[in-house]
Structure 1
Amino acid sequence: MLFFVFLSISCWMLYTAVANMTDVQHLVACLIAISYKHFTPGSNIALSLPKRVQDNNNPHATLALNSTINNPEDSLPLELQRMAVWPITVFRHCDESPADSFDGKRQESHKSYIIVVYSEEEDDVTEDVAEQLQFLSYSASWNPRARFVVTAVIKAQLYDSQETAKNLLQEISLWKIFDVVVIVKASATHNTEKIKNDIQNFQINTWFPYQAPDRCSNVHEVTLLESWLMEGKGRLSKNTNLFPNKIKYDLNGCTITAATFPVDIAVGPYRYVDKNDSTATPSVTYESGTEVRLIKSVAEKLNLTLRFLPPPSKNEKWGDLAEDGTFTGLLGDVVYGRADVGFAVWPLHPKLLVIMDATKSYLGDDWVWWVPCAKKVPRWKSISMVFLPSTWSALLVSVIFAVVIIPCMVTREPSELKIYRNCGNSVSTVWATFLGVSIPRMPKTVPVRTFLISWIWYCLAINTIFQTFLISFLIEPGLQHQMNSLQEILASEKKYGYNEWFDMVVRDTEDEFSETILRNRVACNEGNEPPCLDWVAHHDNFSLLCSRALLQYILTREYLDKNGKPLICQAGGLFFPVNYVTYMAKWNPLLNRFNDIITRLLESGISDKWIESGLYLQRVHARTSSRRVGVGEYYDISLEHSQGIFAILLPGTILSVMVFFLEVFYHMFSLK
């Protein structure tokens, strides 16, 4: 009998303990249930608590398993840790920065956040959560793309739970946090869900962006996803998914603002859009360009309304850090929120990723050095190019040797003809033989005749080789030397330059000449101002570091010779690679959707097709025609090809006439 009495008392005590669970205990149980279902096991949970919850003076701590918590309100960290599923990092809002604030070291981003807000009145909740979010944002592990659970405990008895949730979600949306639920206890006067015997509950609310053109990134209405029923140990009423994918592929015509400026092949010219409202912000539109077509395709696939800002003023282009500490150009438009995206063949750079997000790279490019193409050797030099200078020197020495050796041999042969005893006649004989011209009389003696025959054979071999290559050099004399490396460019002491906005990229290269290049470079801006391309193509006094794709595009219509061949050539290999991206405002929720569409466009090959069609149109507009001579095709030898011959003939003729008149005058005066 006593046993049954004891059992009844024990059951009554257990029922009483369960039935008398406090609101805080139910809230802890609710958070534990949500964490277990929706947080990835093993990922770090960031738990943000207000000052009054944590008595430890350390604002940033990781709780150990043997932590002791005295108050029921402090049971959440211990309960999460006891489950041994996630490491817990506790943050307490204070005037100091988090211990893992930005210190140059890479930190692992948090994947889940739980933010607990305590407030006396309804109006203080929003301010409290804003302060905690600001404090969390100072951490290097800050990640607005994580899953957030924000719970608000209000001690006041009368408040509007739905309005409180809406105000909290509005504040949270300002931090670009979209995967978020807000837990608020249903107020006594606005409890919209009473289940069985007037049971109270915690309402789990969220909101959905991009529902209509006028309901995009601002909170207009709150959606009740789930309720925690405060009966017994508590339970979720519907067991629904609290973190559905809120960014769909159909964004219902919401507006996205883009910042760019005209760049060859990537972004075409713009025109202003007429608006009926004169007070509205001016906007422009772009119709052509590979990047413009890409961004328009992404916007079309996501059902976004694309709007363009006017190009940056004062030639700010991509932008930089101004003296007053502000950002200019496209950089300022994106960072300060005037534009959602910015593009204009903008290279991916690690320093920019600190203040902006970047899409997947959709165009790879190489930056190389460009120099004047080697000019053709003047045709009047063609004869001199048949042999190397050393060979011409050897031929001259052999002629002098033959002129000297013949008189020496004749002195030992008394029966030899007198014409070979004279030095002048010896020169004439040797030179005539060298040119393949007959001599007046052959020598009589065997030694002289043997030497002369050997000399004739030698001259025949030289003449055969000379005549074989002469025609080739008359038709195509070849090209002069062209610089083919950075070392040659620097050694030439000619000026060089590139777009000044790429200083930071050049500075990051591992090339040993980077400092020298940065110190002496000339700024070459868009629109060929100053005319750097003209200096390279027409004046041969400049070298340019530029995009290979851009120069190939320009050379389809400009800087071509009369045969349609480019006047600007690449020198050496790759200087540094570049990947072009579209930059977005930091933590933009559309980043993943943009990357998905860009990936599909790249895999389809349509972006390459756009580039090829752009180059083809440029070639059509250029209307260049070049006559290509195939192997084995005949040439018509013209007077132009004979410049080298006349370059020797005319001086020789003038010299002959002068010698002739000198002989005439000599005989005239000698007879007197």
Structure 2
Amino acid sequence: MADNDMSFRQRAVIEFLAKEEIPAAEIHQRLQRAYGSVAWVRAVFEDRPMMIPVRNLQLLILLKWFLPGNCVLPAVPDGTTVLERHLLKGIVNISYTYFNISSSLAMFTEDSWSSNKPQNGLRFAVFREIHVAMNWPVLTFSTSRNVNNMTRDTAVKPDVVILILNEDESRSEGLLHRTLMSFATSRFGNPRARYVIVSTAVPSSTRDQHVIALSALNISLSLDILDAIFLIPEPVHNDRTEASLKAHDIDVFTWFPFSSESSGTHNLDVTFLDRWVKDEEGRGSLFRENANLFPAKSIANLGGRNVTMAYASWPPLVMSSDSNATTSPDEGLEIRIIKTVAEFTNFNLVLRRPEDRVKVHGYFGAQWLNNELLLHLDGTWTHYTGAFTWFVPNEKDVPRWQSLIRIFNPSFWLLVLSVYVLGSFTFWALASAQRSDRETTSFRNIILIFMNSLSMLLSESVNKKPKRTQSQVFFLLWSFYCLQINNAYQSSLIGFLTNPGHLPRINDLDGLLESGIELGIQSGLNFHFNDSSDPRNKRILKSHINCDLKTSLVCLDRMAYKGDLAVAGGRNGLEFLSYIKYMKNGKPLYVPLKDNIQQGYMVIYLKKGNILLKRIDSIVLRLQNAGLIDKWVKDIRRKFGKHFGNVPINDGFCVLTMSHLEGACSLFVLGMLLSIITWFLEIIHHSVGHRFRKRQQVTDNVI
């Protein structure tokens, strides 16, 4: 009595919420919050409503043609035939053995799309046994358009699909193809689900049975469905009018992908798995061999079929070895991966550009793992790590002529100059304090004193030494000072001549913005700077230039040779180009900043449900575990960039060349020019002075 009262109250609540057009999922949640685990949900039938107990509200898909709207269940049939009851037991046994109770299920027949066909009693019987008796998860659709759309968007894709065909439908390839195609192209479509295709048609011969099974499984192959089994009664060679009145054995067929028998053809051959028979000892029905109806099916041999892939060129992942942009890529990490898959899966790889607009099975070429793309495509196992960062001009060497003055810092040079002036005046003061005629001329004249002090600083000798004792003592001290300074300068000079050092390099984004050089961003990457909370992004987006496919090399040339541009782009690609094209003295002309703007993982994208997905994942994972991915990356870098990753070896000595002596030669040339200019000035002075003195002498004689 209590159960009936509980049921009555819940029916009233459901009826009220249904009138308010509340979704079934929300109705179920409200019932569970109010009544706990004893909750019911309403399934809508054409003739009368029915209350179905559910434990977890997940998914039942009862599809109409192209999923146009409301889904309804037919009324309870008057009865089913002996053959249909025998099929029902086989379907229930398969469901109980191979499917989890938590799996989502899609069950439909052609009757669900066509209202002018007789209702199939087997359809409702399967629903009743699986979803009511076995307490399978159920979801019904509301008549509200908004609720219907919301349900489709949020529904889980089914793990199990049961397709029931009557006798006429079993022999219609077009009808079956449209049925599966409409389901596969819908939001519920899942080629990786387990498909159970059931035919009630009783074939007249073994050949007729194989033709029907072959037709159905060939259609599943065309939609990339792997785990599909086909249930069909055994052939009846005599009277077929009473075939449905007998419990004929049910044969189960499947197909194994591209087996050796079907290699090189576009069709397949079916494989007999087991037979569902009625036990003569009265123990019910059972499978005779008890074989596994869903064995593992691996795509290991495509028999030379063509697999078309679209690619995007991006060194070092996808590139041409002859640097000709018109030829198909034949080198790169992803090219080696996909060729390895083609070799060990025995298919012919056909590469096409995206602009060719041809039907492809997938595409690759520095493609990042993207959650939005995974809604429409399948991504393989990640095989490489990518990053997006800023590239700046590399640090430049200090001009070698500056080696002569960079040995001491400005303050030390000022100290040396001050000591030189002070020492020269000390020599002059010591000579002036005594009788000047007793000191040599070289240390009495202030100009000669400055010249002698400079000569000693440059390790040059003087023609005469001082005579006075005080001057001689200071002369010894000055000689010792000059020796120390000269040795310090010369020892450091050798080091600066061999390694002049580098000008400061840009190390972070703040330093890049302060440097004032122009900013460039590769096409399609502007969205990384859309964060308006960072004022630096506003500055970047306001003043940057776009480096697209046509201008990318121009941007790289500016950054490498002029040093007035920084480019934001893919780390692997631009770094690889720097080592094969933009090198000088074994060093790249531009380098990446240490911090990445964003980091991601590279994948190969395939069309949704492509049968090669697991095969590629398996091979990529084995390549990674074997270390071949890392080895291939290093091989490609060494092949195209001989300096890639090389560290300069310090062999302990350096041979000085004219480039090392650039500063000394420049100073020598400057001294020679000054000497020549002085020589010309002396000649001019002597010539003009001689003429002036001669005129002055003539004038004096006349007077």
- Scaled by the length of structure 1, the TM-score of the pair is 0.68
**How far did residue 426 of structure 1 move?**
7.0
- Which residue is 1:316 aligned to? none
Is the contact made by 1:266 and 1:289 (CA closer than 8 Å) also made in structure 2?
yes
Q: Does 1:260 pair with 2:311?
A: yes
Is the contact made by 2:368 and 2:386 (CA closer than 8 Å) also made in structure 1?
no
- Which residue is 1:176 aligned to? 224
**How far did residue 596 of structure 1 move?**
1.7
Cα distance per residue 1:584-603 (max 9 Å; x no partner)? 11110111112222333344
TM-aligned CA distance change 1:102 to 1:90, over 3 Å: closer
- Which residue is 1:642 aligned to? 664
- Which residue is 1:45 aligned to? 104
What is the number of residues matched between the two proteins? 587
Report the AA paired with residue 249 of structure 1: A
Report the AA paired with residue 298 of structure 1: V
| Alpha-carbon distance in structure 1 between the residues aligned to 2:472 and 2:693 | 36
- Which residue is 2:192 aligned to? 145
| Alpha-carbon distance in structure 2 between the residues aligned to 1:354 and 1:137 | 13
- Which residue is 1:296 aligned to? 339
Is the contact made by 2:83 and 2:247 (CA closer than 8 Å) also made in structure 1?
no
Cα distance per residue 1:502-541 (max 9 Å; x no partner)? 5567879999856655665544456885433332333223
TM-aligned CA distance change 1:172 to 1:628, over 3 Å: closer
Q: Does 1:29 pair with 2:89?
A: yes
Structural mapping, 1:73-112, within 5 Å: 76=126, 79-80=129-130, 88-90=137-139, 97=148, 99-102=150-153, 110-112=158-160
Is the contact made by 2:420 and 2:454 (CA closer than 8 Å) also made in structure 1?
yes
Query: Which of 565, 574, 583 is 1:560 aligned to?
Result: 583
TM-aligned CA distance change 1:579 to 1:507, over 3 Å: farther
- Which residue is 2:54 aligned to? none
| Alpha-carbon distance in structure 2 between the residues aligned to 1:234 and 1:510 | 69
- Which residue is 1:274 aligned to? none
Cα distance per residue 1:180-218 (max 9 Å; x no partner)? 2344567988999x9999533555444444247977896
Report the AA paired with residue 181 of structure 1: I
| Alpha-carbon distance in structure 1 between the residues aligned to 2:467 and 2:532 | 74
| Alpha-carbon distance in structure 2 between the residues aligned to 1:423 and 1:599 | 86
Report the AA paired with residue 494 of structure 1: I
| Alpha-carbon distance in structure 1 between the residues aligned to 2:492 and 2:632 | 47
Structural mapping, 1:108-119, within 5 Å: 110-115=158-163
Cα distance per residue 1:326-362 (max 9 Å; x no partner)? xxx7xx65xxxx1123233433333332222222233
Q: Secondary structure at the match of 2:594?
A: strand
**How far did residue 247 of structure 1 move?**
3.5
| Alpha-carbon distance in structure 1 between the residues aligned to 2:415 and 2:167 | 103
Structural mapping, 1:528-607, within 5 Å: 529-547=552-570, 549-550=572-573, 553-554=576-577, 557-561=580-584, 563-607=585-629
**How far did residue 402 of structure 1 move?**
6.0
Q: Secondary structure at the match of 2:618?
A: helix
Is the contact made by 1:179 and 1:243 (CA closer than 8 Å) also made in structure 2?
yes
- Which residue is 2:504 aligned to? 481
Query: Which of 369, 372, 386 is 1:351 aligned to?
Result: 372
**How far did residue 380 of structure 1 move?**
1.9
Once the two structures are overlaid, the 10-residue window that deviates more, 581-590 or 216-225, is: 216-225
Q: Secondary structure at the match of 2:335?
A: helix
**How far did residue 35 of structure 1 move?**
1.6
| Alpha-carbon distance in structure 2 between the residues aligned to 1:603 and 1:44 | 33
| Alpha-carbon distance in structure 2 between the residues aligned to 1:501 and 1:262 | 15
Report the AA paired with residue 308 of structure 1: V
Is the contact made by 1:360 and 1:598 (CA closer than 8 Å) also made in structure 2?
yes
| Alpha-carbon distance in structure 2 between the residues aligned to 1:190 and 1:487 | 89
Report the AA paired with residue 301 of structure 1: F
| Alpha-carbon distance in structure 2 between the residues aligned to 1:213 and 1:499 | 51
| Alpha-carbon distance in structure 1 between the residues aligned to 2:531 and 2:86 | 55
**How far did residue 128 of structure 1 move?**
8.5
Structural mapping, 1:426-575, within 5 Å: 431=454, 434-435=457-458, 438=462, 442=466, 458-497=481-520, 499-502=522-525, 517=540, 520-524=543-547, 529-547=552-570, 549-550=572-573, 553-554=576-577, 557-561=580-584, 563-575=585-597
| Alpha-carbon distance in structure 2 between the residues aligned to 1:93 and 1:177 | 30
Is the contact made by 2:101 and 2:137 (CA closer than 8 Å) also made in structure 1?
no
Is the contact made by 2:259 and 2:301 (CA closer than 8 Å) also made in structure 1?
no
Q: Does 1:632 pair with 2:653?
A: yes
Is the contact made by 1:383 and 1:644 (CA closer than 8 Å) also made in structure 2?
no
Cα distance per residue 1:553-598 (max 9 Å; x no partner)? 545553333x554434444354544543322111101111122223
Give the structure with the higher percent helix. Answer: 2
| Alpha-carbon distance in structure 1 between the residues aligned to 2:209 and 2:278 | 16
Is the contact made by 1:536 and 1:543 (CA closer than 8 Å) also made in structure 2?
yes
Q: Which runs of 5+ in 2 are unaligned?
A: 1-78, 113-120, 203-207, 697-703
Cα distance per residue 1:58-92 (max 9 Å; x no partner)? xxxxxxxxxxxxx99656556446787x8624456
- Which residue is 1:374 aligned to? 395
| Alpha-carbon distance in structure 2 between the residues aligned to 1:138 and 1:229 | 36
Q: Secondary structure at the match of 1:572?
A: coil
TM-aligned CA distance change 1:359 to 1:196, over 3 Å: closer
TM-aligned CA distance change 1:445 to 1:20, over 3 Å: closer
**How far did residue 221 of structure 1 move?**
5.6
Q: Does 1:340 pair with 2:361?
A: yes
| Alpha-carbon distance in structure 1 between the residues aligned to 2:688 and 2:436 | 26
- Which residue is 1:318 aligned to? none
TM-aligned CA distance change 1:256 to 1:530, over 3 Å: same
Is the contact made by 1:216 and 1:254 (CA closer than 8 Å) also made in structure 2?
yes
Q: Secondary structure at the match of 1:468?
A: helix
TM-aligned CA distance change 1:515 to 1:389, over 3 Å: same
Is the contact made by 1:209 and 1:215 (CA closer than 8 Å) also made in structure 2?
no
| Alpha-carbon distance in structure 2 between the residues aligned to 1:91 and 1:217 | 42
| Alpha-carbon distance in structure 2 between the residues aligned to 1:228 and 1:443 | 130
TM-aligned CA distance change 1:288 to 1:36, over 3 Å: same
Cα distance per residue 1:125-180 (max 9 Å; x no partner)? 975895687468655x753212122446799xxxx887766665455555432212
Q: Secondary structure at the match of 1:588?
A: coil
| Alpha-carbon distance in structure 2 between the residues aligned to 1:509 and 1:521 | 16
Is the contact made by 1:48 and 1:132 (CA closer than 8 Å) also made in structure 2?
no
TM-aligned CA distance change 1:518 to 1:174, over 3 Å: farther
- Which residue is 1:311 aligned to? 353
Is the contact made by 1:24 and 1:73 (CA closer than 8 Å) also made in structure 2?
no
Q: Which runs of 5+ in 1 are unaligned?
A: 1-18, 54-70, 272-282, 314-328
- Which residue is 2:69 aligned to? none
Is the contact made by 2:131 and 2:138 (CA closer than 8 Å) also made in structure 1?
no
Is the contact made by 1:210 and 1:251 (CA closer than 8 Å) also made in structure 2?
yes
Is the contact made by 1:416 and 1:444 (CA closer than 8 Å) also made in structure 2?
no
TM-aligned CA distance change 1:128 to 1:428, over 3 Å: same
TM-aligned CA distance change 1:113 to 1:310, over 3 Å: closer
**How far did residue 383 of structure 1 move?**
0.7
Report the AA paired with residue 88 of structure 1: P
